[in-house]
Structure 1
């Protein structure tokens, strides 16, 4: 049974989320502000966090960055009334795994939660925090990537895509699989967003790190 931490100060929304999630088999814990959320997130074993940005004691975007900086590696879904594209981009850059705007349909939020939990499960054991493929090293706790000992600046989405490839090194992953694992509910199968981000990684990591398998998808190679 997955445990979800709800960080939200609006009682009506909290009640709605708790009832809906518990009815779908989840265990929930509620934090009404950033201080309690940080204490709970870093001291308890949660599988996912739902995070409002308009918290009474600290902006949720700040809390998001602080939690990622302190090693909270579980999926975080931002749930907020801020629908500006710049806020959404900022959220992903700060470490959000998904971004849902209010008002929202519970069915959509539930689908996103299941997608994020499925991705986390496929990524493997949460204690396996250091991944290494040839000269590329990824640290899940610090969310840092190095190539030949030199740090590489990756966005949150680029980091997740890199981790996905490293978890499945040598395996061909189709565009549809990558959309599901990395972007979840956000993009349709016809999107070229995967190709765009693979291009980013080839530039930032190594040009030969990801092989295109014609008609099938992409594969991370074992590098030297």
Structure 2
């Protein structure tokens, strides 16, 4: 009985020690992601506890480890990189203390008009120019100054809306990444509790069995 209690106590202490070490590591788990928007690649780097990596150098490489360029995160941990080639872009950032962020944007996520993408042939281009030329000879609509001002104002409002939406999407992506990490941590805690419960029941039954056998 004494041996069984000692074994269970040792297992319990070991589990709590492991859980404590993992919780500390999880609290500093790196969260990083990149989202292409045309030839612009927006990304963010931070930790699972909500702290963002500010003013951090982010280097960009191709699949052959050739450097394509670099950028820096802002005060909110966000960065923007302009892609010039339709190839895989690999982002790396050293957050110190052994934390390295590495993530990738694949070539198929980038537009085809970049270098290395599929382009239209000269004949197709010439045909398009001919069509445009014929359209230019057609009756041209009369555009008044009022219509021009309306178009300019509408474009400014649209740009503001796009900028606001982009910020909201960034915030949503960050919250989603943190939610995924929290759910993962909860699953791990539940698994550890389940294992401890099984060992506890087994230790109790083993102790009862030995007591009954000794009697």
TM-score normalised by the shorter chain: which range applies? under 0.3
Higher alpha-carbon Rg: 2
Q: Structure 1-normalised TM-score?
A: 0.21
TM-score by length of 2: 0.21
More helix by share: 2
